A and B are shown apart, each in its own frame.
Chain A
Amino acid sequence: GDSVTQMEGPVTLSEEAFLTINCTYTATGYPSLFWYVQYPGEGLQLLLKATKADDKGSNKGFEATYRKETTSFHLEKGSVQVSDSAVYFCALSDFAASGGGADGLTFGKGTHLIIQP
């Protein structure tokens, strides 16, 4: 079945540091890929997404590129802020494998990011 593997935290960085959170996936179809963010005590918010190979999703200074050859979707940000402290989830939606019907997201286990001033 489908699966998502992401680096487990916590990941602790200083403000203005460069961030990379690795994410790799396995899927039977041709999935869409997502990064969601969960701030403390809140629900999940979509951060960015990519639907086909070589697409780059970007939002709020975060970027991730859909790499089909390496089945990866790593999240990067050039300069993190304290306000970026949250749990980040990589996820996929394998529409084709579902036979064209609705399908749920398959999530990684989440990476807890802590940014220190």
Chain B
Amino acid sequence: DTAVSQTPKYLVTQMGNDKSIKCEQNLGHDTMYWYKQDSKKFLKIMFSYNNKELIINETVPNRFSPKSPDKAHLNLHINSLELGDSAVYFCASSQPGGETQYFGPGTRLLVL
């Protein structure tokens, strides 16, 4: 059973398009996250959601918006894609309180 899953695994699109990445966790966790990994492998938190409430929003452009239809899902919507958005995006989940985060397999986004 996959704990944290993401779709799609690969996403190739043109500049200016709008795209979404889906994330689902079956661990019963209360908190979900999105991270961006750049070409140098550096990982940075983008968002976290706890009980449908946005907890963190780092310096991320407002073209990025997380949407959580329920506790098990946190989807990432990206409007007006730019070349610099090309990266690997990871979803993760945990219980709050500094507990271990479990990561999805990642979505490799390439903007042409």
Contacts and interface: CB of A to CB of B under 8 A. Distances in A.
Chain A bound to chain B:
yes
Nearest to B29: A102
Interface of A: 31-32, 34, 36, 38, 42-46, 49, 51, 87, 89, 93-95, 98, 101-107, 109-110, 112
Interface centre among A36, A94, A102, A112 (most CB of B within 10 A): A102
Interface residues of B, number: 29
Nearest to A38: B41
Contact of A104 (B30, B35, B40): B35
13 contacts: A32-B99, A34-B100, A43-B90, A46-B101, A93-B99, A98-B55, A101-B50, A102-B56, A102-B96, A104-B45, A109-B40, A109-B41, A110-B42
Interface of B: 30-31, 33, 35, 40-45, 48, 50, 55-56, 58, 90, 92, 94, 96-106
A106 B56 CA distance: 13
Given A95-B98, A102-B48, A107-B42, A43 B105 contact: yes
A111 to B, nearest CB: 10
Contact of B103 (A45, A51, A102): A45
Given A32-B98, A43-B104, A107 B55 contact: no
